[in-house]
Amino acid sequence: AGFMMLEAGFARTREVVNVLLECIVDTCLCAILFWAFGFAFMFGSGNGFIGHTFFFLHGAPATYDFGGSFDTGVAFLAFFLFQYAFADTCSTITSGAMVGRTGFVGDLIYSVGVSGFIYPIVGHWIWGPGGFLQTAHNGVWLRDFAGSTVVHTVGAMIALAGAIVLGPRLGRKFKRDGGGLPAGHDLTIAAVGGVILWFGWYGFNPGSTLSAFDAAGIGRVATNTTLAAAAGGLLAMFWVFPRIKKWDIGITINGFLGGLVAITAPCYWISPTGAIVVGAIGGIVVVYGIDFIEWLKVDDPIGAVAVHGLAGIFGTISIGLFATGQFGIPGPLGADKSGGVVTGLFYGGGTDQLVSQIIGSAAVTGIVLV
């Protein structure tokens, strides 16, 4: 509902029905693809690049075990359903930059590619058992708590490729040619959609603890998520005001979404103050990201590349800067420090985590774009 309303609100009137149908069919198609082989590619045991067990959810155990590191105690099908929501999100991000130029058959084709192959295979590298990006630099894992890279950067890079290949919408005049973004269909709908997405993030981020017993982790993640969104929305709004001399609802929506995207990767490992800084920078990244995409003459009606791509890249890197060194990986009862803690550069952790974040983000960004 959040993506449907956001994209329908920012699109032109004649594009709205296509947006609505695409979002619904993405959701339906992704469920079947993820059941058949997407989940197997992503979370099945295999090698560093792809999984090859649990096709059609065959042979599923009672609970999902992350490659033997610890048994989450999460029912297998509950874990499948949770991860399906992430896969569906990635595919729906993609549509945002391709509004108004993609025939419905094209929607179906790219949805199969994203939900069935690109997202699960790339996701296996970071979240799947034995993924090769889990030891990206000096044995230090690439960390991505809830998907700034796995979900948002992947979706945005596919969106960018699609927007480039499709070209601009008919009649679209870019800012450096004396034009700008066409007026949206209904900013009331766009605002409601943005707030629904904000609410949905409380499933995304706190849910990624994978344990209702990690009360401290859930509280920390939910608070950091809230503060980052608030900071991103406010700073984007105030940042743009001197330029256009009005309080702009569109950039405010995308600002808090940029804050949410940026906080998605580091939310478990940083402090509330760090969350405000990350969210605020995420909001500014969105402002200049939208400017940059417009300057490139890429028609992105929703701002998907700036919000999900550039803010996602920043959010991933921010772990290497702002992680406080207090928390390890999420465990069934709380943060598990037995394998070490995650510490960023600003908290005395050196550059290993930062370099790992940069390598992982760059690898995913480049490979997915290609």
In the prediction, which pLDDT does 71 show? 58
In the prediction, which pLDDT does 70 show? 43
In the prediction, which pLDDT does 179 show? 83
Which residues, 6 or more positions from 264, have their beta carbon under 8 angstroms from its beta carbon?
144, 145, 146, 147, 148, 151, 152, 201, 204, 205, 225, 312, 315
Q: What is the pTM of this model?
A: 0.96
Q: Taking Cα atoms as reference points, which of 162, 66, 48 lies closest to residue 114?
A: 162
Which residues, 6 or more positions from 122, have their beta carbon under 8 angstroms from its beta carbon?
150, 154, 364, 367, 368
pLDDT at position 14 over 90: no
Q: Which residue has the tokens 């997407």?
A: 38
**Distance of alpha carbon 169 from alpha carbon 275, whole angstroms:** 37
105-138 per-position pLDDT tens digit: 999 999 999 999 999 999 999 999 889 998 766 7
CA 134 from chain centre, in angstroms, equals 18
In the prediction, which pLDDT does 340 show? 85
328-369 per-position pLDDT tens digit: 988 877 888 887 899 999 999 999 999 999 999 999 999 999
Give backbone dihedrals phi and psi of 286, rounded to 5 degrees, phi first.
-65, -45
In the prediction, which pLDDT does 180 show? 80
In the prediction, which pLDDT does 189 show? 96
pLDDT at position 213 over 70: yes
In the prediction, which pLDDT does 69 show? 43
Cα dihedral value 257, 170, 25, 369, nearest 10:
-60
**Distance of alpha carbon 219 from alpha carbon 226, whole angstroms:** 11
168-208 per-position pLDDT tens digit: 988 888 988 888 877 788 999 999 999 999 999 999 999 99
228-286 per-position pLDDT tens digit: 999 999 999 999 999 999 999 999 999 999 999 999 999 999 999 999 999 999 999 99
Question: Residue 330, exposed/middle/buried by CB under 10 A (0-12, 13-18, 19+)?
Answer: buried
In the prediction, which pLDDT does 37 show? 97
54-102 per-position pLDDT tens digit: 999 999 988 887 654 445 678 999 999 999 999 999 999 998 899 889 9
